Structure 1
Amino acid sequence: MNQITLANGQVYSFQQLGSGAPLLFIHAPAIGHVNFFAQHALADHFQLIIPDLPGHGDSSPIPESFSLSAIAGQLCELLARITDQKAIVCGYSQGGPLALECLLASPNLFAGGILVSGFSEVNELFLHTRFYMAEALTAMHGIGLLASSIASSHVDDPVIQKQWISHMENTDSSTLLQLYRAGHAENCTARLSEISSPLLLLCGQEDQRMHPYAQLIEKHAPNARTVIISGVNHQIVTKVPDRFHEEVRCFAASLSLDLQRSAVPVP
């Protein structure tokens, strides 16, 4: 793991693997960079940048309230410090609205975005309930219970499950609670028309409750398209990584001219 200290003193821990077009991966709350262990295979053609969000791993905590747009600004600063190439930002689950906020905050840094089981707002009972449950568990210092549940739903290998749980149990509970609250309150749908770069929206065929969220984004973002992945629910990146990697490679190939443009100035 590498570390970088931002201008405001916030410390981010991150993995940097491979070379080529940069891929910035944004994990779901509580999981950390291990969310994308299966994506290391993409390092053969891409430069993978996989940070731990605040309070995860060795990234410093932010126990007070914050917005997803504030975290997106930090991620954009991190990216600009690491590479002078345009990147593809890929957000998983609540990492999806963070990816959207990155594209809104610093469009000059990105050639496109990929949302995996993502959303731009929370607007129905199912997702509201999931957030309320996660917030309640975290407020009661239930990170251990969250870790076991999330690991078992994403990973079949018991050895890797233990690695996930070990990493997740170190998450700062106050920061995690604020991250859940920020995701629950997020609503960038009205600003999606400002995102001109291409967006790939990936949803699992069995993840029916997330399909309307992809449709909402596709309706408002001018260059968004949805791909439904068969035989999988929410956990696309861990359950069907080969299919996910295929979609990433195809999407990146469609952006090849943008990715090869001249260096992007650091904001």
Structure 2
Amino acid sequence: MGRREDTSQAFPHFIESGQQDNQTVVLLHGLGMGYRFWELQLPFLSKRYHLLALDLPGFAGSVSSGPFTMIRAAAATVDLLDKQAIPAAHLCGLSLGAMVALQIAIQSPGHVLSLILSAGQIQPDAQIMEEQFAAMAAVPEDVLFESFINFVPPQYEDLRQAAREDLQQTGKQGLLAAMREASQVRFRQHLRQIRVPSLILCGSEDLVNLEAAQELAETLPHAQLAIIAGVGHAWNLEKPDEFARMVDDFVQQVEHKYKDQRT
């Protein structure tokens, strides 16, 4: 079954792809774009999974819902699963989306089958976050937007235009609000209570997030770590096929484990 976009103006705005009776994977985008951040993974993953990709509160098609907060983003994702009558799903998030996935695992653990966390943070360094916030606040909106658009490789012009549209909907103040919210996360004390299988990913060139990736892998009780050589922060855009395959391989591994436990 092809892609289906929710056009009801309900919150959150989302698309789904793949057969609805397949296992569900929820895709949680990072700071900047909305669900279209995952465009390059949708064709491959929708062959095997029922995909839900949403615009988080305060972003793109969900901007009218008000500013982004971790708690609201987690609640919106869980509400979407409940409305779709999906008891639990595999959660895949990158950067801000990885933090939202962790928030869901803490806030609503029964809705989570596994976690795929790329470039996530546990307790961001206050000085680094303040410097990043100040740098974002200081530049004109169009310059800030271009810095996000440039995460998308030049050969994907349609996706670069999609990024531009999403950023214009979200606006500079929306980005700053989400950045400020992300700087406040304090997940460290909760990590050991997360019992689901977890795949921790990070690009070798994403130096700001390598330490957090290693700590996540060491602290989460059922985690494995993969550092991807030669890529940076938004590496699902740099090596889209490899990212999709790693998600697929991990979810299949988890599903086989759950199947064995049921038999």
TM-score (norm 1): 0.85
Following the alignment from structure 1 to structure 2, what is the Cα–Cα distance between the partners of residues 88 and 143? 35
Alignment of 1:111-260 (within 5 A): 111-123=113-125, 125-134=127-136, 136=137, 142-157=140-155, 158-257=157-256
**Tell me, what secondary structure is at the counterpart of 1:12?**
coil
Give a deviation string over 1:242-263, Cα, whole Å, max 9, x none. 11111111111111157669xx
Whether the 8 Å CA contact 1:144–1:169 is kept in 2: the answer is no
The farther-off stretch of 49-58 and 110-119 is 49-58
Q: Which residue of 2 aligns with 1:18?
A: 18
Which ranges of structure 1 fall in alignment gaps of 5 or more residues?
262-267
Following the alignment from structure 1 to structure 2, what is the Cα–Cα distance between the partners of residues 46 and 132? 40
Whether the 8 Å CA contact 1:85–1:259 is kept in 2: the answer is no
The farther-off stretch of 187-196 and 248-257 is 248-257
Whether the 8 Å CA contact 1:151–1:161 is kept in 2: the answer is yes
Which ranges of structure 2 fall in alignment gaps of 5 or more residues?
none
**Tell me, what secondary structure is at the counterpart of 1:154?**
coil
Change (3 A) 1:86 1:260: farther
The farther-off stretch of 32-41 and 156-165 is 156-165
**Counterpart residue identity of residue 79, structure 1:** L
The farther-off stretch of 150-159 and 220-229 is 150-159
Whether the 8 Å CA contact 2:33–2:60 is kept in 1: the answer is no
Following the alignment from structure 1 to structure 2, what is the Cα–Cα distance between the partners of residues 113 and 239? 21
Following the alignment from structure 1 to structure 2, what is the Cα–Cα distance between the partners of residues 240 and 60? 29
1:53 to 44, 48, 56: 56
Change (3 A) 1:254 1:199: same
Following the alignment from structure 2 to structure 1, what is the Cα–Cα distance between the partners of residues 73 and 192? 21
Report how many aligned residue pairs link the two structures.
252
Following the alignment from structure 2 to structure 1, what is the Cα–Cα distance between the partners of residues 69 and 257? 30
Tell me by how many angstroms 1:3 deviates: 5.0
TM-score (norm 2): 0.86
Q: Which residue of 2 aligns with 1:36?
A: 38
